[in-house]
Structure 1
Amino acid sequence: MTSVVDIHTHFVPRGWPTLGAGPDWPRLRVDSEAHATIMVGSTEFRRIGSECWDAVRRLQDMGEDDVDSQVVSPTPLFFSYDRDAREALRVSRIFNELALEICAPAGERLLPFCQVPLQDPELAMAELDRCMAAGHRGVEIGNHVGDRDLDDAGVERFLIHCAEIGAPVFVHPWDMPGSPRLDRWMARWLAGMPAETHLSLIAMVLGGVFDRVPASLRICFAHGGGSYAFWSGRFENAWQRRRDLVGVSERPPSEYVGRFSVDSVVFDPAALRLLVDVLGHENVMLGSDYPYPLGERPAGRVVRESGFLGAAEQAAVLGGNAERFLRLPALQGAL
């Protein structure tokens, strides 16, 4: 029987050492045994609960949601891509070790993904190798490093390494630009995040990354791939009609469908149907963004309530596709 696997969840450890001096370093204000607040200087970034660090609490919520396993990824605030690479490596190692501690009590039910100092591909590859040997199951990366997108030569070298060692990659938007228009109503999360992911998928195609990296690369984009599926027709039309500017990839954008996956955390059956229609059900995996307030609870509700997925398709989205993506032991003989 296919398991239910949530490919998109995050953790924050309850205690971490002082990361550095200065007002822009994140720290945790512990408010009670079950609650804390992530602070950046004197500004509240996010209030969190014990589900961020407590495996028992996570497992209880997973039981309520009928989820068998979670991929547990870093919270992007801690990527530290804007810092010195050695400093970012130190931060990565702190959180990677804490991720293993959080997931250890749950065995195969909580599957840790590491973070790496992506601004330095050599350090990033070395840290990924160390983490995969230590028990991490893949890596989460941000969708850009400053002005360098996923077609940057260094990032591409890292992705090739991921393909070579068989490490799955989860791409999460982060560091959305702010402005007076975007700093209201959580607009950076509501509009900026989908746009960031869409832009990075365009970079993967038009930057030629999918033409150069091995087809064995397993890469998944958060939040349903942002606005990519909705605007795929516009992308295709531009590639055909403005070949002088857009037609720089070896093939039209539609022919790269199948080279990447997206999660299902789109909150609406019509949006999920669009993902399935455009990308194929075999390229969509259950995601919830647990435990954050903009996530889906119960996890998988939209997938389970969709009336257009057949039983086999629903089972694939809920877990079968993730089992292949993660190469879980149950499927090793079939891979």
Structure 2
Amino acid sequence: MIIDAHAHLVPPTLVDAIKAQADRFPSVRITPEGGFAFAGGKPTRPVSKGLSDIEGRLKWMDDNRIDLQVVGGWLDIFGNDLPVEEGIAWARLYNEHLLDAAKANPRFVPLCLVPLQDGARAAEVLREAHAQGFKGTMIGTQPKGKGGVLDDASLTPFWEAAHELEMGVAIHPVFESGDDRVHDYGMANAVGRITDMLITFSRLIYAGHVTRYNKAKIIAGIGGAALPYVIGRLRRNYSLDKSLGDPDAALATLYYDTIVQDTRTLRYLADIVGADRIMMGSDMPFPIGDLEPKKIVAETSFSEGERASINGGLAQRLLGL
């Protein structure tokens, strides 16, 4: 079974449902261009055709000989900066339509949305999603808006629930990386998302979350960002302060995808964390991703057994497919 373990989907029924239930979301505005503005914030980009084109998605999967695709939502519209009750309703609506899309198209494996505005309520929604059949969740690096951190003490109930339920937790960078210098030359995607992930995971590692909640299957997207490259510095920092979480133990606990766009980098990732921790992914439909995701696996120096694991075996076991 060949599985694309990293993709995004906005069910085509979702936007219509949001428009029909606008009174439930007074803090959400749909822009004339087809984007969203949450709680008076900066409008998102419009929802691109590729995010909602089910027919085109299935054709792409056929063309690439991919059997299943793990789909989270689109980070721009997670709504984690909405008021709490509104954010809960938003997450539940998104999950309803993701689940309906997966039932209509069983080749999709959906990852639920949780309202990270409130850790206890996020845990509640995660438990609901688990009961509905979701295998995991996709969350953004910066809950509650720009500058938020996933090691915030208020999110402890969420992490405890993910650990208890043994859910997949795919952590994904957000567009606002926290450094405005990346908003030129296309660097928000090329560089900003890397620094965003590196900071997020470094905090989770040093806070002890990765090893403490090790039954949660935490996935570090985009090849773990810069984590494998800076492991020496992370280790050195840990040696100076043993009250921190152990970065080597954490990297051995995490899971990763192949979206690094360079065979040497992918081989280095495998050398650091082990090929058995890596899953093939595309980041579909975004151009910064890898829309021929099997190619890099084929062209990197792996054994046939390692390729089989990366191309679907690990995702199948990890998510209980």
Given the two structures, how large is their TM-score scaled by the length of structure 2? 0.88
Q: What is the identity, as a one-letter code, of the residue corresponding to 2:203?
A: A
1:225 alignment counterpart: 224
Residue identity in the other structure for 2:234: F
Cα shift at 1:199:
1.2
**2:131 maps to which residue?**
133
Q: Is the CA contact (8 Å cut-off) linking 2:174 and 2:193 kept in structure 1?
A: yes
The offset of 1:260, in angstroms, is 0.8
Cα deviation, 1:135-168, whole Å, max 9, x if unaligned, reads 3221111123244422222323312211212221
Aligned residue number for residue 326 of structure 1? 319
Partners of 2:206 and 2:43 in 1: CA distance: 38
Q: Which residue of 1 aligns with 2:261?
A: 267
Which consecutive unaligned segments of at least 5 residues does structure 1 have? 30-36, 329-335
Alignment of 1:23-102 (within 5 A): 25-27=29-31, 29=33, 37-38=34-35, 40=37, 45-46=45-46, 48-49=48-49, 51-102=50-101
Equivalent of residue 301 in structure 1, options 285, 295, 300: 295
Match in the other structure for 1:10: 8
Displacement of 1:44 = 6.7
Alpha-carbon distance in structure 2 between the residues aligned to 1:282 and 1:221: 14
Question: 1:21: Cα distance to partner?
Answer: 5.0
Q: Closer, same or farther in 2 for the Cα pair 1:297/1:211, shift >3 Å?
A: closer
Paired positions, count: 309
The 3 A distance-change label for structure 1 pair 89 and 55 is same
Contact 1:55/1:105 (CA < 8 Å) preserved in 2?
A: no
- Using the alignment, how far apart are the partners of 2:7 and 2:177 within structure 1? 23
TM-score (norm 1): 0.85
Whether contact under 8 Å (2:70, 2:111) holds in the other structure is yes
**1:75, distance to aligned residue in structure 2 (A):** 0.4
| Residues 1:311 and 2:304 are matched in the alignment | yes
Tell me the CA shift for residue 46 of structure 1: 4.3
Query: Does structure 1 residue 197 correspond to structure 2 residue 190?
Result: no
Aligned counterparts of 2:212 and 2:148: Cα–Cα separation in 1: 18
Paired with 1:91 and 1:42, the residues of 2 have a C-alpha distance of 18
1:80 is displaced (CA, Å) by 1.5
Structure 1 match to 2:157 = 157
1:291 to 285, 290, 294: 285
1:279 matched to 2:273? The reply is yes
Shift of 1:178: 5.7
Identical-pair percentage: 27
Q: In the alignment, is residue 169 of structure 1 matched against residue 169 of structure 2?
A: yes
**Shift in alpha-carbon separation, 1:279–1:97, aligned structure 2, 3 A:** same
SS of alignment partner, residue 157 of structure 1: helix
Structure 2 CA distance for partners of 1:48 and 1:253, relative to 1, 3 Å: same
Q: CA offsets, 1:244-289, max 9 Å, x none?
A: 4xx3225x42132321111111111011011101111111111110
Q: Aligned partners of 2:180 and 2:119: how far apart in 1?
A: 34
Q: Secondary structure of 1:8's match? A: strand
Gaps of 5+ in 2: none
- In the alignment, the residues of structure 1 paired with residue 157 and residue 279 of structure 2 have an alpha-carbon distance, to the nearest angstrom, of 26
**1:209 aligned residue:** 209
